[in-house]
Amino acid sequence: MGNRKLLEEAGNLGFNLFEKEEPIDTNKILYNVITSEDIRLLEGFPIMLANAIELGGFHYDEILNKLKNTKDKVIFLNIIQLSLAIYKYFRVEFDWKNTILKYLSEKNKNKINVYLSYLKMNRTFNVSKYQISSERIKNIFLNYYKKEENKTREVVRKQKELSLEYALSQIFFPKQRILFKKKLRGEKMTKTEKEYFSRIVKKKIIALSNSELHDMARKILEQG
């Protein structure tokens, strides 16, 4: 197996060396989505737009100027309006929302509310030449953000685990950490392990649980 192939597979286990290998051209991606005539990609546009702006590379005028076909320009405007309607439907407040709104006339802003009413009624409606299912596009957006929320929780959980592991490593030797976790999980220990735990590890745990020691440690840390 080649190294690159192996490194790509390692990415599936969370070790991705290629994640930031090349800068992402967000405007080019969004342009290609608009001109793709692929309804599946257009349904994901609200998600891609939000991420593009978060990355700081989105430029409305740049994409608009690239679109030579008038129909594509209309699709671009309509899909932007639909994206804003989706954000409004789910009450997702982005700090950058005004970045887009400044490009829209009052008439174009009104179209956002038209799309919003379709979403609320769960109707199928047209966006330019494409038929959009309210139920489907809402589910796509909602499922994406649920996954992102779960990813965030997982990152926080791992950070806590690493922080705890580091703290334990400052107090217990590797063998002592193993026994500490065994006792915590209620796992069976051999006679030798029980004796070692009672003689060494338990004494450290008793010291750690002392409230006065906690208070003194905090006081020292607060002093810098």
pLDDT at 84: 94
- The reported pTM is 0.64
Q: In the chain, where are the structural domains located?
A: 3-145, 172-224
pLDDT at 109: 93
pLDDT at 9: 62
Q: Locate tokens 């006679």: which residue?
A: 191
pLDDT at 10: 59
Given a cut of 50, the residues of the chain with pLDDT beneath it are 1
Give the pair of three-digit tokens for residue 10.
């390692």
pLDDT at 35: 92
Q: Smallest Cα–Cα separation from 98: which of 42, 52, 53?
A: 53
pLDDT at 208: 86
pLDDT, tens digit (0-9, with 9 covering 90-100), for 48-97:
998 888 887 789 999 999 999 999 999 999 999 999 999 999 988 777 77
Burial degree of 33 (CB within 10 A; 0-12, 13-18, 19+): buried
